[in-house]
Amino acid sequence: MATTAELFEEPFVADEYIERLVWRTPGGGSRGGPEAFDPKRLLEEFVNHIQELQIMDERIQRKVEKLEQQCQKEAKEFAKKVQELQKSNQIKEAADIIQKLHLIAQELPFDRFSEVKSKIASKYHDLECQLIQEFTSAQRRGEISRMREVAAVLLHFKGYSHCVDVYIKQCQEGAYLRNDIFEDAAILCQRVNKQVGDIFSNPETVLAKLIQNVFEIKLQSFVKDQLEECRKSDAEQYLKNLYDLYTRTTNLSSKLMEFNLGTDKQTFLSKLIKSIFISYLENYIEVETGYLKSRSAMILQRYYDSKNHQKRSIGTGGIQDLKERIRQRTNLPLGPSIDTHGETFLSQEVVVNLLQETKQAFERCHRLSDPSDLPRNAFRIFTILVEFLCIEHIDYALETGLAGIPSSDSKNANLYFLDVVHQANTIFHLFDKQFNDHLMPLISSSPKLSECLQKKKEIIEQMEMKLDTGIDRTLNCMIGQMKHILAAEQKKTDFKPEDENNVLIQYTNACVKVCAYVRKQVEKIKNSMDGKNVDTVLMELGVRFHRLIYEHLQQYSYSCMGGMLAICDVAEYRKCAKDFKIPLVLQLFDTLHALCNLLVVAPDNLKQVCSGEQLANLDKNILHSFVQLRADYRSARLARHFS
């Protein structure tokens, strides 16, 4: 067939075509040559060629028919498209005409042209409905260009806003399929923002209307469903939901700020948020403070119940205040001491729970309060924290601890008030941290700052006063315990032995026990306090410890060997005083040690010792009082040397 096809040359002449075929066929030539003319062979070639031409004709015919069908189909589609375009233009033309007629009809008097006006209005309405229907269909087909055309025509019709409503409604179909309505809304607005400019001449207005629709219908309904069901039955869940929903709504608003929504989009979005939450935010702080009070009271009550403890009322005013002032100044036991069995009634777990609840309240307050109400609302939350943490828990424990401190003459007293001090200090550090971290940012630029600082200062001063009182009375009890040890263990014969020649030079048993007790209390004080408070309390204890030993030594008469024992005891007390690491305390015991030398020094050397570096500045009466303790003091020789 390829050979046959080559015989078809333009222009085609049948005689020449046959001539070329004969010439190409072996034995078909008429002019001699290598092969003689062969009519049979030529006939056979003609027959075969005719069959090939018939096959070619059939194939070409089928191809022609197929092309004709395709051409007819394309012609119909083209005709349809042309018809649609013509129709579209006629719609556009009709819209322009009816729009102008409608405007003109507005000026015609109704009594003379009522029928005409009615027909124009009817046609106007019908055409408007057709355009909106066409827009709706084009949106469902996703034909952006057709939507743009129809929207442009409708722009001058009253139903243009309805066209926008249809667009907003249909673009939300199937948009909320996830579990997160806020994420769905953000994705929807992002998608529409990319599309709306290709359809409408005022895209920012359409997008703003979509966002308004989303907020006022979809989000408002969702928020209501989430909050109303727990508003009256579960305050905790209600506050958590309100905080979460408001946060997610404001986060969505922040995402939408990147879009063009007109001039003042910040105000626009703020109003939308307010319209959703206004009924919940108006009384938010009442719900917050009411819940915080009940929750805090429950945390405390659960703790005291776990201790099987019934809180006693702490009296205030009048007689109670008078008793407290007398007790602070005199340390007299006014009323029976309470045996708390070593319980401090302070719990770090309780404190952490109270602070956690308050922290969450501060966070919600920051998010949900109107900026003008924020400092005042934060202050209300702070006062609740003060009430339950500082007064109902810490102050109650301090009062109970004070009542549990035994009198100074009690034996084997359990001086656990230092444990109260330690725990109270730890708790107050946590309280102070929350004050700085969570309250201060909310009130720092408002008049409430000074009010909060003043309230905090008052609380600190009240607690410090009670801590000082308790520590003072505890130190007195410590000294009282030492007195009991000395009274029980120190014997008169310790410093005036019957056999002067048979005494081993060492400290007495009373000294050993007192030093052991003192070292234990020093360690406890260091563990119970921090900073300068440690040195302050240790200094006070050291001074009282020195006074006790000084007065204790004044009770005895000393032989020479007894004086040596006293010196050994004071040396041990001085070693104990070194643990205080307070220079004044060590200096006092150094001086006391020097004074004890007056008990043993030879009479001829008394004046020299008294004028020494450590004793030269002391009052002579003090020096004399120690010399008088010597068993040989009344001898004329000693009195002469000391005068």
pLDDT tens by residue, 38-68: 787 778 878 888 888 888 888 888 888 888 7
Task: Please give the Cα distance from 249 to 227 (Å, whole number).
Answer: 14
257-260 contact pairs (CB < 8 A, 24+): 259/189, 259/193, 259/204, 259/207, 260/203, 260/204, 260/207
Query: What is the per-residue pLDDT across 552-566, written as a single tens digit (0 to 9) for each?
Result: 999 999 988 889 999
For position 602, what pLDDT does the model report? 84
| Position with higher pLDDT, 234 vs 179 | 234
160 and 196 share a domain?
no
For position 102, what pLDDT does the model report? 46
Establish if 294 belongs to a structural domain.
no
Task: Please give the Cα distance from 107 to 129 (Å, whole number).
Answer: 24
Query: What is the per-residue pLDDT across 384-427, written as a single tens digit (0 to 9) for each?
Result: 999 999 999 999 999 999 988 888 888 777 788 999 999 999 99
Q: What is the mean pLDDT of residues 625-641?
A: 74
Task: Please give the Cα distance from 428 to 417 (Å, whole number).
Answer: 16
Establish if 338 belongs to a structural domain.
no
Residue 589: exposure state from Cβ atoms within 10 A (0-12, 13-18, ≥19): buried
Q: What is the mean pLDDT of residues 617-625?
A: 86
517 and 623 share a domain?
yes
**Which ranges in 106-159 belong to alpha helices (H)?**
110-141, 144-154
5 and 28 share a domain?
yes
69 and 102 share a domain?
no
Establish if 334 belongs to a structural domain.
no
255's CB contacts (< 8 A; 6+ apart) are: 186, 189
For position 493, what pLDDT does the model report? 87
Q: What is the mean pLDDT of residues 248-255?
A: 95
637 and 499 share a domain?
yes
Q: What is the mean pLDDT of residues 134-154?
A: 84
Is the Cβ–Cβ distance between 379 and 448 less than 8 Å?
A: yes
29 and 152 share a domain?
no
User: Which of 12, 41, 74 is the endpoint of a domain?
Assistant: 74
Q: Can you give the three-state secondary structure of 30-81, one letter per residue?
A: CCCCCCCCCHHHHHHHHHHHHHHHHHHHHHHHHHHHHHHHHHHHHHHHHHHH
Residue type present at position 497: P
265 and 399 share a domain?
no
What is the residue-wise DSSP string for 567-605? HHHHHHHHHHHHTTT-HHHHHHHHHHHHHHGGGTS-GGG
Helix (H, G, I), strand (E, B) or coil at 558: strand
Q: What is the mean pLDDT of residues 304-323?
A: 71
Lowest mean pLDDT among 146-160, 212-226, 505-519: 146-160
Give phi and psi for 558, each to the nearest 5. Answer: -120, 125
Is the Cβ–Cβ distance between 536 and 578 less than 8 Å?
A: no
| Position with higher pLDDT, 2 vs 337 | 337
Answer whether residue 92 shows pLDDT above 90.
Answer: no
Query: What is the per-residue pLDDT across 440-495, written as a single tens digit (0 to 9) for each?
Result: 999 998 999 999 999 999 999 999 999 999 999 999 999 999 999 999 999 988 88
501 and 637 share a domain?
yes
399's CB contacts (< 8 A; 6+ apart) are: 314, 466
Is the Cβ–Cβ distance between 478 and 521 less than 8 Å?
A: yes
441 and 528 share a domain?
no
For position 298, what pLDDT does the model report? 97
Q: What is the mean pLDDT of residues 130-145?
A: 84
Q: Which residue has the tokens 């444990």?
A: 419
Answer whether residue 173 shows pLDDT above 90.
Answer: no
For position 232, what pLDDT does the model report? 86
Give the tokens for residue 482.
Answer: 């030492």
Establish if 222 belongs to a structural domain.
yes
Q: What is the mean pLDDT of residues 248-265?
A: 90
Answer whether residue 346 shows pLDDT above 90.
Answer: yes
Q: Which pTM was predicted?
A: 0.73
Lowest mean pLDDT among 81-95, 534-548, 589-603: 81-95
Give the tokens for residue 153.
Answer: 């025509």
Is the Cβ–Cβ distance between 329 and 406 less than 8 Å?
A: no
Establish if 45 belongs to a structural domain.
yes
What is the CATH number for 587? 1.20.58
Establish if 269 belongs to a structural domain.
yes
For position 15, what pLDDT does the model report? 73
For position 320, what pLDDT does the model report? 53
| Position with higher pLDDT, 104 vs 610 | 610
Q: How far, CA to CA in Å, does 643 sit from each of 37, 558, 601, 613?
A: 181, 20, 15, 19
For position 337, what pLDDT does the model report? 54
For position 327, what pLDDT does the model report? 54
Q: Would you place residue 2 in the very low, low, confident or very high pLDDT band (cuts 50, 70, 90)?
A: very low
User: Which of 74, 104, 120 is the endpoint of a domain?
Assistant: 74
1 and 56 share a domain?
yes
For position 505, what pLDDT does the model report? 67
What is the percent of the chain where pLDDT is above 70?
Answer: 82
| Position with higher pLDDT, 376 vs 628 | 376
| Position with higher pLDDT, 34 vs 376 | 376
460 and 390 share a domain?
yes
Domain count, the chain: 5
Task: Please give the Cα distance from 391 to 397 (Å, whole number).
Answer: 9
Answer whether residue 321 shows pLDDT above 70.
Answer: no
For position 637, what pLDDT does the model report? 58
Answer whether residue 181 shows pLDDT above 90.
Answer: yes
DSSP classification of residue 519: H
Is the Cβ–Cβ distance between 178 and 231 less than 8 Å?
A: no
Task: Please give the Cα distance from 144 to 198 (Å, whole number).
Answer: 7
For position 318, what pLDDT does the model report? 46
Residue type present at position 243: Y
Peptide bond preceding 11 in cis form (omega within 30 of 0): yes
Task: Please give the Cα distance from 374 to 383 (Å, whole number).
Answer: 14
Task: Please give the Cα distance from 642 to 619 (Å, whole number).
Answer: 14
Spatial CA neighbour of 493 closest among 484, 485, 502, 481: 502
Establish if 579 belongs to a structural domain.
yes
Output b/e per residue, 9-26; b: 16+ Cβ within 10 A. eeeeeeeeeeeebeeebe
Query: What is the per-residue pLDDT across 266-283, written as a single tens digit (0 to 9) for each?
Result: 999 999 999 999 999 999
Helix (H, G, I), strand (E, B) or coil at 630: strand
Answer whether residue 643 shows pLDDT above 60.
Answer: no
DSSP classification of residue 10: S
Is the Cβ–Cβ distance between 258 and 202 less than 8 Å?
A: no
For position 135, what pLDDT does the model report? 81
User: Which of 219, 245, 276 is the endpoint of a domain?
Assistant: 276
Instruction: Output the average pLDDT for the chain.
Output: 84
537 and 603 share a domain?
yes
Q: Would you place residue 610 in the very low, low, confident or very high pLDDT band (cuts 50, 70, 90)?
A: confident
125's CB contacts (< 8 A; 6+ apart) are: none
Domain, as residue range, for 354: 343-479
Q: Would you place residue 139 in the very low, low, confident or very high pLDDT band (cuts 50, 70, 90)?
A: confident
Is the Cβ–Cβ distance between 346 and 424 less than 8 Å?
A: yes
Q: Report the length, in residues, of the chain.
A: 643
In 228-383, which ranges are E strands?
none
Question: Residue 483 is inside which H or E element, if any?
Answer: helix 448-489
Establish if 409 belongs to a structural domain.
yes
